Amino acid sequence: MEFAVYNIQGKETGKKVSLDKDVFGVEPNNHTIYLDVKLFLANQRQGTHKSKQRAEVAYSTRKIKKQKGTGTARAGSIKSPVFVGGGRAFGPEPRDYGFKLNKKVSKLARRSALSAKAHSMDVRVLEDFSFDAPKTKGYVEIMKSLELEGKKTLLVTADNQSNVVLSARNHPKSKVVCAEGLNTYDIMNANVILLCEGSLDKINDILKK
């Protein structure tokens, strides 16, 4: 599968690159994509929720009324969940929402996501570029040149380009990651994937191991 290489002015450079069929041309496995996205979202949860149970509520431990002769149910403690202000029954406890996912499954999910985007022609290859200083206006101009205004984009660079990351940070629908940080959620969440030329070899090396 060949794709034309564009420059940051939005014009074709005349070069073409062939995307590796083992990474960008596999049959998408939707279930692995689901599992990898589920794991990513689970890992974003803090899991610090907490409510007090009856043993943790600060109330007296005396018996609040006699057991018989009241005409109502027996009650031994004001801390009981049936009373207002009592402890909560089976309330949330701090926990980790993550779960185990095999590395091979995660890699298959990323290959499946990239293949799905490539099949729907939502992948573009850009010449490698960098900024001398962070400048949001410069990044916005690149998006305009590529006619991607209003679309969610994911730019994948070969290595950590801090100035490019900072330039895109204030752009609400853009995200920049290096090849090592590529994940299934970001791929599926974007309308268009922008791959810098230098990132292709690294993506292939990571996902074909």
pLDDT at 150: 87
Look at residue 45 and give its three-state secondary structure. Answer: coil
In Å, how far are 55, 133, 139, 176, 195 from 163, measured between CA atoms?
53, 6, 10, 10, 17
Task: List, for residues 74-128, the tens digit of each pLDDT value.
Answer: 998 999 999 999 999 999 999 999 999 999 999 999 999 999 999 999 999 999 9
pLDDT at 53: 94
pLDDT at 167: 92
* Rounded average pLDDT over 128-137: 91
Average pLDDT, the chain: 93
pLDDT at 68: 92
Domain coordinates in residue numbering, the chain: 2-46+99-208, 52-91
pLDDT at 208: 84
Give the type of residue at 44: Q
Task: List, for residues 157-204, the tens digit of each pLDDT value.
Answer: 998 889 999 999 988 899 999 999 999 999 999 999 999 999 999 999
Just give the CATH number of 2-46+99-208.
3.40.1370.10
pTM given for the model: 0.85
Q: Is 7 exposed, middle or buried (0-12, 13-18, 19+ CB in 10 A)?
A: middle
- Between strands 2-6 and 123-126, the pairing is parallel
CB 154 within 8 A of CB 175: yes
Look at residue 2 and give its three-state secondary structure. Answer: strand
pLDDT band of residue 2 (cuts 50, 70, 90) is confident
Give the type of residue at 52: K
Q: From edge to edge, which strands make up the β-sheet containing 153-157?
A: 12-18, 2-6, 123-126, 192-196, 153-157, 174-178
Please calculate the CA angle 199-201-204 and round it to the nearest 5 degrees: 105
pLDDT at 10: 86
Supply the DSSP string of 176-192, one letter for each residue: EEEGGG--HHHHHH-SE
Cα–Cα distance between 117 and 143 in angstroms, integer?
19
